């Protein structure tokens, strides 16, 4: 008897970045930023038994991607909003020297991980879930401040 087909919910396309350097592309139906594990599937129509268990402790990050040419074209045609004021710019450094730069609305070192929107000129990466336990360092990038008023003899 075949395994039941997964529900028709549209699963996000992802790239799983393992600590050992592997990158696995697929789809996740059961990801939660509060859970220690999820499953990655080879396609959106995969059977339930085709999922491979993924443990957060083994990951650097999960990259959520645009998944279809139509979605990419729609995203390219839609103007991107300015960075929200509540987002903070940051750099994330991993132990293997890999680095991500982008913005976040909800970083906490006490959680399993956090979402960030990386700087991605291709527009293919929508967001990244970074696993905190495998981060070497997070640095905040100061935002541009208002121009300083000129002082001294040249300003008179």
**What does the pLDDT read at residue 86?**
80
Question: Could you read off the pLDDT tens digit of each residue along the chain, which spans 156 residues?
Answer: 555 555 556 889 999 999 999 999 999 989 999 999 999 999 999 998 999 999 999 999 999 999 765 454 445 544 455 555 689 999 999 999 999 999 999 999 999 999 999 999 999 999 999 999 999 999 999 986 544 444 444 444
In this structure, what token pair is assigned to residue 110? Answer: 């006490």
**What does the pLDDT read at residue 129?**
98
**What does the pLDDT read at residue 154?**
44
Element (H, E) at 99: strand 99-104
**What does the pLDDT read at residue 32?**
96
- How crowded is residue 123: how many other Cβ atoms within 10 Å of its Cβ? 11
**What does the pLDDT read at residue 10?**
83
CA distance readout (Å), 28 to 23, 51, 64: 14, 9, 10
**What does the pLDDT read at residue 84?**
52
Report pTM.
Answer: 0.78
């Amino acid at each position: 008897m075949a395994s039941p087909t997964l529900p028709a919910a549209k699963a996000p396309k992802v790239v799983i970045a393992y600590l050992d350097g592997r990158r696995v592309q697929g789809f996740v139906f059961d990801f939660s930023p509060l859970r220690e594990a999820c499953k990655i599937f080879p396609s959106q129509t995969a059977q339930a038994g085709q999922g491979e268990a993924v443990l957060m402790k083994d990951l650097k990050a999960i990259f959520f991607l645009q998944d279809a040419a139509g979605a990419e074209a729609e995203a390219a045609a839609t103007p991107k909003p300015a960075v929200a004021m509540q987002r903070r710019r940051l750099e994330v450094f991993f132990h293997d020297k890999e680095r991500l730069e982008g913005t976040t609305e909800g970083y906490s070192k006490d959680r399993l991980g956090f979402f960030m929107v990386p700087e991605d000129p291709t527009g293919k990466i929508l967001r990244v879930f970074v696993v905190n336990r495998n981060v070497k360092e997070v640095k905040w990038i100061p935002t541009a401040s208002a121009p300083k008023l000129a002082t001294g003899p040249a300003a008179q």
